[in-house]
Amino acid sequence: MSKNKKCAVRSIANGLAFEGVIDHQSIPGLLKRMPEVSVDEPELDLSAVRRIDSAGLAFLIYWGERLVPPSQKILLTGVSVQACQLIDTMRLDSVFDVQAANIQATDVQATDVQATDVQATDVQTAAPLSQDTESSIERTP
């Protein structure tokens, strides 16, 4: 798959693998380059997709409907957090069988608050608790 293309697609043993960005700009090129798929239950591997928009999901529905019977969901593997959120927002869980990608700790933006980062204060006065008051607070693990 060439790095200069916005999105690339290739055949894999059990379906198609996409790489890059699947959006309204890349779809015309993808339609020209879609390889044949000859498996009974194909998957669309999105593990190398950096970004996908609603037009990209519409493209996957269009292409997936050509590959699977109407009674079967389209299997998406390696789906990013962003794509999962978009699928959920668009309520496409009845169309797609989503297998999310392994999420690394760096993919999730969260704040880890350590006990040392929080200073105990008296709620009524918003003043720091005295040592006597602080030692009477029951700590739970």
Complete DSSP assignment for the chain: --TTSSEEEEEETTEEEEEEEESTTTHHHHHHHPPP---SS-EEEEEEEEEE-HHHHHHHHHHHHHHS-TTSPEEEEEE-HHHHHHHHHTT-TTTEEEEEPPPPGGGS------GGG---B-TTT-PBPPHHHHHHSPP--
Query: Confidence class of residue 103 from pLDDT cuts 50, 70 and 90?
Result: low
7-104 in CATH: which number? 3.30.750.24
Query: Confidence class of residue 138 from pLDDT cuts 50, 70 and 90?
Result: very low
Residue 41 in this model has a pLDDT that exceeds 90: no
- What ranges do the domains of the chain cover? 7-104
Residue 125 in this model has a pLDDT that exceeds 60: no
Higher confidence at residue 117 or residue 94? 94
Q: What is the residue-averaged pLDDT of the chain? A: 75
Residue 84 in this model has a pLDDT that exceeds 70: yes
Query: Confidence class of residue 5 from pLDDT cuts 50, 70 and 90?
Result: low
Work out the average pLDDT over 37-41. 72
Work out the average pLDDT over 35-50. 85
User: What per-residue confidence (pLDDT) applies to 76?
Assistant: 95
The answer to which of 65-69, 78-82, 89-93, 119-123 has the lowest mean pLDDT is 119-123
Q: Please state the pTM of the whole predicted model.
A: 0.66
